[in-house]
């Protein structure tokens, strides 16, 4: 059995928790990790007589996301009740959007293996999240309603994705985007970003779509790849046996690396959608849209193109620097204060700064040991030759530990390079006298020994000799 004879057709439904302090239709806190059932209220618990009130900040976040991906923002949309029964859904229905979503169309741009990709979107709509079932090892189940009513956007893609790697990269692009916009923390480990994958197979060249299965419970980029790969192999095996793929919902089990059938796939009529009677239609006028548009930051793909274009960075470096808003903001702020080429500054950020932070969001902290302007000063000192690369790294380490500026360390502790040709020449003469055999071999044609002599000079002078001057003097002395 070979999967190569089939083309995978994949669409993702991504759920994103929006970063609001209160829930979408009530006043309870959305804080993560609180005591079970401590962040609840009559609305999110579905108590009789409780009426929902829409959170404007949630709508604003969804509008900004829609604008960022080029969606059409509907000037008028409605909420709907999506009915189903599950213990973590106290109302017996979810308030969502059906026929009139807030955002329609648009696309997500990203890169895979150096190539630009675009996945079209069907819609982005608002809804409230359900609670969380907790299953004890003894077989007892509990329900925590803290998550019930937390605001969500559901981002529904067209079936444009063709591989598990592309699906994972699309998810990464969405995570970067919502974090750049500041509308979600995108923490997959906390459930702030999760997805369902619709997967089907068809013979290469065929236009008709195959029967799809929906995969639930995918909450990491790794699991996205593994779950889709497993489903592709499973469906290929079914087709190879001459059987039909069942349209169903399957639950992904990451620990066992397989999926299992949950239920036959629902259709829209199974949910008995109808307009939410307790909420009036939502009107988003042009002034609101334009205000949201003006608030958009520079988007990740635009930054990537600027870094590779105007600044001349490699795609790899630009990808790292544009992967998180905090990294890009740090780089841009340092670039405004730095006279050195952008490539030199990028190297310092990627190799030195990012090596010292566990979470890129730390780069926005007010007490960051080396703020952007301080790094720019250090890089310029290295570029001007005041410090060698080695000395620069030593100074950077001290800056990070002591929260001091490079200029202060250089001025007060004489760590700058020695550029006095007379001082360097005296040391060079001592090295030449100390290694007569190596001098003879050099003069006999082993020119690579020049590095040996310059290295000895640098060691003797504690790394403070100007390398260029030491190199020139040593070549002259060795004849």
Judging by beta carbons within 10 Å of its beta carbon (0-12, 13-18, 19+), is residue 172 exposed, middle or buried? middle
Reported as a pLDDT band with limits 50, 70 and 90, residue 416 is low
Output the CA torsion sign for 166, 168, 170, 176: negative
Query: What is the predicted pLDDT for the residue at 466?
Result: 75
Query: What is the predicted pLDDT for the residue at 138?
Result: 86
Residue 420 has pLDDT above 60, yes or no: no
Where along the chain do its domains lie?
A: 3-291, 298-413, 421-478
- Phi and psi at 15, nearest 5°, equal -105, 125
Taking only the tens place, the pLDDT of each residue in 253-293 is: 888 888 888 877 666 678 899 999 999 999 999 999 999 99
Query: What is the predicted pLDDT for the residue at 415?
Result: 58
Q: What percent of the chain has pLDDT over 70?
A: 96
For residues 473-477, average pLDDT: 87
Residue 1 has pLDDT above 70, yes or no: no
For the domain made up of 421-478, the CATH class stated in words is mainly alpha
Taking only the tens place, the pLDDT of each residue in 200-245 is: 999 998 989 999 999 987 989 999 999 999 999 999 999 999 899 9
Taking only the tens place, the pLDDT of each residue in 6-35 is: 999 999 999 999 999 999 999 999 999 999
For residues 241-250, average pLDDT: 91
Query: What is the predicted pLDDT for the residue at 89?
Result: 94
Average pLDDT, the chain: 91
The winner for highest mean pLDDT among 160-174, 256-270, 405-419 is 160-174
Query: What is the predicted pLDDT for the residue at 354?
Result: 97
Query: Cβ distance 98 to 276 under 8 Å?
Result: no
Query: Cβ distance 392 to 381 under 8 Å?
Result: yes
Taking only the tens place, the pLDDT of each residue in 336-375 is: 999 999 999 999 999 999 999 999 999 999 899 999 999 9
CA distance 283 to 236: 47
CA distance 429 to 277: 92
Whole-model pTM?
0.86
Residue 429 has pLDDT above 90, yes or no: no
């Amino acid at each position: 059995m070979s999967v190569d004879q089939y083309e995978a057709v994949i669409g993702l439904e991504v759920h994103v928790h929006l970063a609001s302090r209160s829930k979408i239709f009530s006043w309870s806190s959305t804080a993560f990790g609180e005591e079970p059932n401590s962040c609840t209220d009559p609305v999110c618990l579905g108590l009789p007589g409780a009426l929902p009130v829409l959170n404007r900040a949630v709508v604003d976040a969804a509008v900004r996301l829609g604008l960022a991906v080029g969606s059409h923002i509907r000037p008028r949309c409605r909420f709907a009740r999506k009915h189903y029964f599950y213990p973590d859904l106290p109302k017996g229905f979810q308030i969502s959007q059906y026929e009139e979503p807030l955002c329609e169309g648009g696309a997500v741009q990203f890169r895979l293996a150096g190539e630009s990709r675009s996945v079209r979107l069907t819609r982005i709509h608002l809804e409230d999240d359900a609670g969380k079932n907790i299953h004890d090892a003894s077989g007892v189940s509990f329900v925590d309603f803290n998550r019930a009513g937390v605001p969500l956007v559901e981002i529904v893609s067209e079936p444009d994705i063709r591989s598990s790697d592309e699906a994972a990269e699309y998810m990464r692009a969405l995570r970067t985007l919502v974090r750049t916009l500041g509308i979600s923390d995108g923490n997959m480990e906390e459930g702030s970003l999760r997805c369902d994958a619709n997967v089907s197979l068809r013979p290469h060249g065929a236009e008709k779509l195959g029967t799809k299965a929906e995969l639930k419970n995918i909450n990491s980029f790794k699991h996205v790849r593994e779950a889709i790969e497993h489903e592709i192999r499973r469906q290929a095996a079914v087709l190879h046996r001459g059987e039909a793929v069942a349209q169903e919902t399957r639950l992904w089990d990451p620990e066992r690396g397989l999926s299992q059938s949950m239920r036959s796939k629902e259709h829209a009529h199974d949910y008995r959608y109808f307009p939410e009677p307790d909420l009036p239609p939502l009107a988003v006028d042009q002034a609101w849209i334009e205000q949201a548009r003006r608030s958009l930051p520079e988007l990740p793909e635009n930054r990537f193109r600027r870094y590779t274009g105007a600044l001349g960075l490699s795609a790899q470096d630009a990808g790292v620097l544009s992967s998180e808003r905090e990294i890009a903001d740090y780089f841009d702020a340092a670039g405004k204060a730095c006279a050195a080429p952008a490539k030199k500054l990028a190297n310092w950020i990627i190799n030195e700064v990012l090596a010292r932070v566990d979470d890129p969001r730390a780069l926005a902290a007010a007490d960051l040991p080396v703020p952007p302007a301080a790094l720019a000063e250090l890089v310029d000192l290295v570029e001007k030759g005041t410090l060698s690369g080695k000395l620069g790294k030593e100074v950077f380490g001290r800056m990070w530990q002591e929260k001091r500026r490079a200029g202060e360390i250089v001025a007060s502790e004489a760590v700058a390079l020695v550029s006095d040709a007379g001082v360097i020449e005296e040391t060079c003469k001592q090295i030449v006298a100390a290694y007569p055999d190596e001098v003879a071999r050099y003069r006999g044609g082993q020119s690579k020994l020049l590095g040996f002599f310059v290295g000895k000079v640098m060691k003797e002078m504690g790394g403070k000799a100007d390398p260029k001057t030491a190199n020139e003097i040593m070549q002259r002395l060795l004849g």
